[in-house]
Amino acid sequence: MAGSISSALLLLLNMAGALLAPSASAPQSLPASADDDGDVDFFFFPFLVRYKSGRVERFVGTDTVPASLEPATGVASKDAVIDAAAGLAVRLYLPSLGNSTRTRSGRGDRLPLVVFYHGGGFVTESAFSPTYQRYLNALASKAGALVVSVDYHLSPEHPLPAAYDDAWAALRWVLGSARSGAEPWLSRRADLTRLLLVGDSAGGNIAHNMAMRAGREGLDGGAAIKGIALLDPYFWGKRPVPSETRDPEDRRLNDRIWSFVCAGRYGADDPVVNPVAMAREEWRRLGCARVLVTVAGLDVLSARGRAYVEELRASGWGGEVRLYETPGENHVYFLLQPDGEKAAKEMDAVVAFINGDRSPGGSKPEGSAKSI
């Protein structure tokens, strides 16, 4: 049975599984409400349907939870509005100083600053979802980092490059607020010399593109991105890469999905989605010193993550790139099974990367980190 299901469809189901609340279920067919709007324009199974009337109905990734103080970790979170008119906001996470890296780093109360971009195929989820509240509470606590999670606009109502523009505006706001004192957590606690961008799936794509833009344009005040962590990043392209298996159905489906999220503004081999196609001189503009890429062995996108690491290494870019592989798991499994042993090992790798350790951990067979 499994052999009859395309790898692209399995990817979508795994992505949806990571976003579904325990009581929710993805639709197996179009909802009855489809008749309310007449013909369906695009059914992005299992995430959403867009009707020809323009109405969009989402099935997963719409739940939200309020900012709070989590008793188990001592991490506090709060929301901040960047631009009320544009609808751009963030959620900040501040760990208990008892769990922070200040005693190890000798930097007082200053913490590593992580700007996080959530996944969801560019079409679902938010900075306020229970999935990412849980993950980022854990990340902030374990890494002793101040985390800023960006609530960017979603496609198809706001097709790409809207998410990229929002991500860049949020990054500039973070840096400006840290310097001006407009946001006390940032101005009092953030160490701008330890600025990292982290994202999963579509968020990993965004983090990469922000580092590329920073390399081309620079950041306000001469700030520099210390590193980027791309967790099961969403990259695509028409031409297969080494170890990538793909049938024509997969190619057509993924091409249609990419065209849908960007409204046809970027081709399937545009560098924003297919950095492997970049010339080597473009790779050398990547605006950070360190890169961590994680991949899951059963993820159809894993070959793209490996190819990213290989191309970056071959480009002559002067930084350090690492690949962390978890065999036997699917796309963003660490969101679906956060308490599992493999997820814990991957979390340790990300935490160590944030804190600048030479060896990010996870070297046992269940997951392996490779410095390349």
Model pLDDT for residues 89-129, shown as the tens digit of each residue: 999 999 997 655 444 444 568 999 999 999 999 999 999 99
- Beta bridge partner(s), residue 369: 324
Count: domains in the chain: 1
Taking a C-beta distance cutoff of 8 angstroms, is the pair 221, 189 a contact? no
Does 205 reside within a domain? yes
CATH number at residue 291: 3.40.50.1820
CA distance 246 to 238: 10
Output helix, strand, coil percentages for the chain, rounded to the nearest 5: 35, 20, 40
Residues 201, 232, 302, 348: which is the catalytic one?
201
Q: What is the DSSP string of 113-148?
A: EEEEE--STTTS--TT-HHHHHHHHHHHHHHT-EEE
299 is catalytic: yes
Residue 167 or residue 14, greater confidence: 167
User: Is the model's pLDDT at 145 over the cut of 70?
Assistant: yes
pLDDT tens digits for range 348-357 = 999 999 999 7
Provide the pLDDT for residue 30: 58
User: Is the model's pLDDT at 301 over the cut of 70?
Assistant: yes
Residues 200, 232, 299, 348: which is the catalytic one?
299
Does 290 reside within a domain? yes
Residue 128 or residue 11, greater confidence: 128
Taking a C-beta distance cutoff of 8 angstroms, is the pair 187, 180 a contact? yes
Does 23 reside within a domain? no
Q: In what order do the strands lie in the sheet with 56-58?
A: 40-44, 48-51, 56-58
pTM of this structure: 0.89
Does 29 reside within a domain? no
User: Is the model's pLDDT at 358 over the cut of 50?
Assistant: no
pLDDT tens digits for range 196-243 = 999 999 999 999 999 999 999 999 999 999 999 999 999 999 888 998
Residues 6, 191, 250, 331: which is the catalytic one?
331
Provide the pLDDT for residue 9: 54
Q: How far is CA 308 from CA 9, 214, 233, in A?
A: 23, 18, 10
201 is catalytic: yes
Domain limits for position 188: 70-355
Does 242 reside within a domain? yes
208 is catalytic: no
Least confident piece of the model among 5-14, 72-81, 244-253, 360-369 = 360-369
Does 258 reside within a domain? yes
